[in-house]
Structure 1
Amino acid sequence: MKINKPVVSKLFAILFAASFFTGLTCCKQEQIETSTSNTIEIKLQTGNTENLISTPQKWHVTNKRILVLFGYDFNTPEIKETIIEMLGDNYGLDQDGGLIYPLVYPDDFKRGTRSYISELTSYLQSDDKEFAGVILLGAPENTHAALARNQDKWNQEVPYAVIALFPQDDVLGIESTCDIVLDKGLSAEITDDEVEGELIAEAPEIIKQAVDYLIDTETSFTRDSSLQRHLKNILKDFKFHHHTDPETGLQSINHFILN
């Protein structure tokens, strides 16, 4: 059969055009997919960068310091590091120009091979520190003696509040040298380990609330019935009651027990 050349030429042109447009479409699709992939990657990178830049610092540089002593039950590496990290994030640490001046017993109280809590007096009377408060965590024995020497320097009028949380020092001694003393109540139904575990679990929130309150007040507390109001403002939703001396049956004015 004889094929008409004009018809063949026309058919070839149609096939060529179809092939050209198919290739062009595939090329454009690849470009779109590549462009979309690059755009998503850039957006993700930009998003991460924005997240890093937009994270605000919670604290600012200050000349004031709140000394936080890490004593018994609070000086183990895991516990102290967790609490110091929390305090550093919220208020900044002394070494960075922040509010919190952490001291760990016995590590920061060594003279030679032995540790002496009496060195606390020297820390409190440092000429390059302006204290807005002191928080004692698990105060070791004879902490009250160091605090008493600091009271003598100020003629018994220390210009900042001293709060002892869960101290292990002499009861009468720590009561006489701190504005507020807070203990964890003991129960015959629970073991010492359970008390300690609950104490450590509650401590970070109480510590933060105490720091916030010391920032707001920046003064010592009067030894009267107002102490209960101060502690209520610190503890917020935590319940507490006055400590009662087991021998005399008398209630302490500044010593309280968590319920």
Structure 2
Amino acid sequence: MLNSCVKLLLVSGGCLLAVSSCRHHDNPPNPCQGMQLKPLTFQFLEYPGTPTPDTTYNNQVVTFAGPGAPYTAWDWQVGSSLNTRNVQQFSLSFDDVTTGPIRVRLIAHRPPNTACFPHDDGVDTLTKVLTLVPFKDSRAPIRDPRAPIYGKFQGATTDAPRDTFTVRIYQGANYFYPKDPTAPPSDYISNIPKGCTRANFSNYLAWRSIHMNPNFCTDDDGVGYLTSRDSIRISYFVQGSTARVNKFFLGKRIR
């Protein structure tokens, strides 16, 4: 609130009198103060629908997910100029031959905010690179063991945060032919839920995520994915006393 005062000189009976006139008023708030245009973003989703920032296996379906409101139109270009889409989200099936970087550009349209940004045309553009790595090793039909989803993660479920335990995702001997050195290794996740003594081998692994079929100790499909390079979130179901229960494990990489 500002206090604006004006001093007036009045003549009264030959004498000068000083009179102070003050008025109070509020400055109207500036609706544009501190406002910034949000940067355009989009995601690459690998099977089973979990995000990966820049890398994934080939030989799978990859989803390209653009932002919603306030955007009203989307123009995609994936790789060559012939591979374009005009929807918010779509999926592409990649073969087992294509590898390396693929340039992905999104031009998204929204109502311009010329009241706060006079030069805003309502068109935002973002280019990212998606790198495809071989789904199978050339020497044997196995996944690339460099995938960051492999490793040990220590944490707890959200309903018992102090009850910590370690979950491991790894390649091991072929489940059906463990003594055959020529058999491709199987992918395992162990100790889900805590105390399960039999590692679940019925899995599908992507670069940063794992899809678990019900097996041994779980009651329904589960999904795990890296929320950062060294943090993981795993959702799975177990049978409770009266009904199945959805559990969420949050862990940090320890090796």
> Is TM > 0.5 for Structure 1 vs Structure 2?
no
User: Which of the pair is proportionally richer in strand?
Assistant: 2
| Bin for the TM-score computed over the shorter chain | under 0.3
Higher relative contact order (CA 8 A, sep 6+): 1
Question: Who wins on radius of gyration, i.e. which is larger?
Answer: 1
Tell me the TM-score normalized by structure 2.
0.26
Normalised by the size of structure 1, how large is the TM-score? 0.26
